[in-house]
Chain A
Amino acid sequence: MHMIESGNVAAATGVKLARAGVIAAYPITPQTPLTEKLSEFVASGQMEAEYIPVESEHSAMAVCIAASSAGARAFTATSANGLLYMNEQLHWAAGARLPIVMCVANRGIGAPWTVWNDQQDSMSQRDGGWIQLYANDHQQIIDSVIKAFYLAEFVSIPVMVCYDGYLLSHTYMPFEQPDQTLVDGFLPDFKPKNALDPENPSNFNTVTLPDVRPDIHGNIAPGYMEIRHCLHQDMRKAMMVLEEIDMKFQETFGRGGHPFVEPYLCDDADHVVVSVGSLSYHFRDVIDLLRKEGVKVGVMGIQLYRPFPDKAIVDALQGKSSVFVFEKALSYGNQGPLYADIKAALYPCDNKPAMHNYILGLGGREIKTAQLLETVRTACSKPKWLGDTPIWLGLKCQE
C-alpha cells in the first residue's frame, strides 16, 4: 500500500508492522509525532502492545531493558538530549545483550538549546555497543525498523535506527507500506535465549569479577572481559547477518541491496563524497550537476555506522583520487567521527585517496545545494590533502 506520510509516521508504522509488545517513550522534539502515533495505534486497538508513558528517557530505556529481559519485543524513540539522558541505559542495554530497537530523530544537542537537525546526538553514542543504522528517506525508515528487530533479535544486540529530525521526521513523502502478512512471514517471533522466568530463575547482570570464576559445579564462567569480548565479536558478525537479512528482505519486498553503504555514480568516479542520512540524497542533485560539467564524482551514503563496515568502505574508496567527508557531527578538538573512521579504514591501502573533512548543518544551519556544488567543484579541482583540520561550511560571522 502506498502512503504519503511523515518520517515519524513511517517509523511508527514499521513498529506496528513488527508487532512490538512493549513501547515506552517520553516526548522530545522532533521525535514526538512518532510516539503520539504509537499511542494512537495502541489506544485505538490497531496495535496490541503495552504503551508506557514514562516520566523520562532514562525510564523509557529502563522499561525497554526490563521488558526485553522478560522476553518482550521492546521499542522506544528519542532525540538529542533525551538520547544523552539515556546514556548509561544505552550501555546497559548493550552489555545485557538486549534486542531493543530505538528510533533516533537526529537533533543537535544543547547548550545552547537547539531543536533543529544535526547528528551529534547519535554519533556521540557510537561507542556504546549499539548497532547504528541510518535512513536516507521515508522508505528506508520503515524498512529499517522492520529489519532492525530481525537483526537485533538474531544477534542479541540493540539497534538504533537514526533519521534526520525535521528533514525526514516532519516532511511528507510517498512510500510503500509493507503488507502485514509479508512482514509476519519475514520477521520471526522473538524467542529470547534467556528471560526472567520464575520457573527457571537466574540472576541477570550480576556483579562480575575481573577474573574468570567457577560456578557451583566447578565450570569456569566468563569474567567481565570475556563477556565484553563476546559483544565485540558478535557486533562484527552482525554485518554478515545484516547482509543476509537485507537479501531476505529484498526477496520478500523487492527493496534493499545496500545494507552497508549506498553508492551513487561511484564506480567510475575519481572523487567520492561521503555523508550520512538525508544529506547523502541531497548530494545526488549536486553530483548530477557536476557530472553535466564533466566532473567524475559520486556520492556514498553510510547506511550502517556501527559495526563499522570498513571492508565495504575500503572497497568503494581505495584508488579514488579524493574523498570528501561531509558531517553534521564533530569530535570537538579533533575531526568528524566518520572522517576519522574512514581515514583509519583506508590506512592499510597503498592507493589512498586524498581526504577532506567538512562540518556543516550544525543545529539546523541550512545546507544549500549551491553551497555544496561550489564546495565539491572546488575540491575536485584541487584533490590533495588539506590536513585533518575540518573545514566549516556555512559560517556567517567569525567569532
Chain B
Amino acid sequence: MENKTSILNLTEDEFVHPGNRACAGCGLGIVYRTALKALGKNTILVVPPSCLTVLQGLYPIAAAKLPCLNVTFASTGAAATGVRAAMRSLKKNDVNVVAFAGDGGTGDIGIQALSGACERGDDILYICYDNEAYMNTGVQRSGTTPQGVVTTTTPITGKLQSKKDVPSIVAAHKIPYLATASAAYPLDLYDKVKKAASIKGPRYIHVHTPCPPGWGFEPRYTIKVGKLAVETGLFALYEMENSQLRLTGPSKKMLGKPRLPVTDYFKSQHRFYSLGNDLINDLQAQVDHAWDAYVIHQ
C-alpha cells in the first residue's frame, strides 16, 4: 500500500464509545474501533448475532456512533445488499454499507447470503472478524476453528478437521477487492479498510481476531498472540485485487526469511493443549508448503 497510515497521522475521530461490553483484551474491540475510524461518519453497519451484538450494548444504549442494523444470523450479506438497494433507490449513493460479522456468521450460517451478494456484484464491504469459534455462545467449534483446537464441542481430542479457508471461498467469486488483516496490526487493517471503502462492488476483509477467554491466554497478550499467528506464517496478511494475491505488511517482509516455528504460537494458548507431535509436524508442513507457494507467486 502506497500511503501507509502511522500513529502520527491516524485520525482522532472515534466512533466506538469507551466502556463498551467487550471482554478484557478483546481483539474485536481493536478491530471494530479501527475499522470504524477508517470508515468514518457516512457509514451504515449491518450486524448479525455475534460478540459484536454484545459489544454494542443493550437497548436503549449503544456503543457505536454509527447507524447500525441488527439482522438475523444467516442474512448479513443479503441485508447489506438491501441497505445498498435502498440507498440507490433514495439516491444516497455516497454511503459506506458495511457488514460486520463473526467467523461462524460468515463462513458457516451466513455463507449463502455472502456468496449471493458477491456473485451479484453488490456494492458492499463485508468485514469478518475471525475469532475461530462460536465465542458469543461459549466457545463451540465453527468451520473456521483450526485443527486440533479444543472447544466446548470438540473436547478432549480437539477439532479433527482443518480450518475452512473462507477468504479463498470468497476469492472464488472474483470480487474486486479482498484482504486479510489482524487485530495485532491495526494500522494495516486501517489502511485496508480505507482502500476497500474507495472501491465499488463487493469487497471482503477477513480479520484474525484473538480472543482471550476463548483461546486461553491472559488479556494482556492479545497483540502478542495475534502477531505470533502472523510471524509463524499460520495467518498470512495479503490483498487480492483482480484475483492477484499480494502479501502485505509484516507478511511481505517475511518472504524468503526463516519463520518462527508454529509451536511458538500453539504454546501461547491453552486451546492447543491436546495437540500431538504428529499433528504439529503436519501443521508445520502445511505452513511451509503454503509459504513455498507464496514465494513462487510473488
Contacts and interface: CB of A to CB of B under 8 A. Distances in A.
A202 B57 CA distance: 12
Interface stretch (B40-48, B140-148, B187-195, B203-211): B40-48
Contacts, number: 173
Nearest to B74: A58
B87 interface: yes
Interface string B103-118: 0000000001101100
Which has the most chain B C-beta neighbours within 10 Å: A49, A71, A204, A209?
Answer: A204
B90 A72 contact: yes
B115 A55 contact: yes
A58 B77 CA distance: 11
Interface string B62-83: 1011111111101101111111
Interface string A63-96: 1111111111010000000000000110010000
Given A207-B54, A215-B60, A66 B116 contact: no
Contacts of B80: 66
B125 to A, nearest CB: 15
A22 B67 contact: no
Nearest to A51: B85
Contact of B82 (A70, A197, A204): A70
B76 to A, nearest CB: 8
B88 interface: yes
Contacts of A21: 86, 89-90
A295 interface: no
Contacts of B264: none
Contacts of A54: 78, 81, 116
A72 B41 CA distance: 21
B75 A58 contact: yes
Contact of A198 (B56, B66, B113): B66
B62 A202 contact: yes
Given A66-B80, A71-B90, A208-B59, A59 B112 contact: yes
Contact of A72 (B42, B46, B69, B86): B86
B45 to A, nearest CB: 9
Contacts of A221: 59-60
Given A65-B82, A67-B85, A69-B83, 10 more contacts: A56-B113, A56-B116, A59-B81, A67-B89, A69-B69, A70-B90, A196-B44, A202-B68, A203-B62, A208-B58
Interface of A: 21-22, 24, 49-50, 52-56, 58-72, 74, 88-89, 92, 196-198, 200-209, 213-216, 221
Interface of B: 41-44, 46, 53-54, 56-62, 64-72, 74-75, 77-83, 85-90, 95, 112-113, 115-116, 119-120, 122
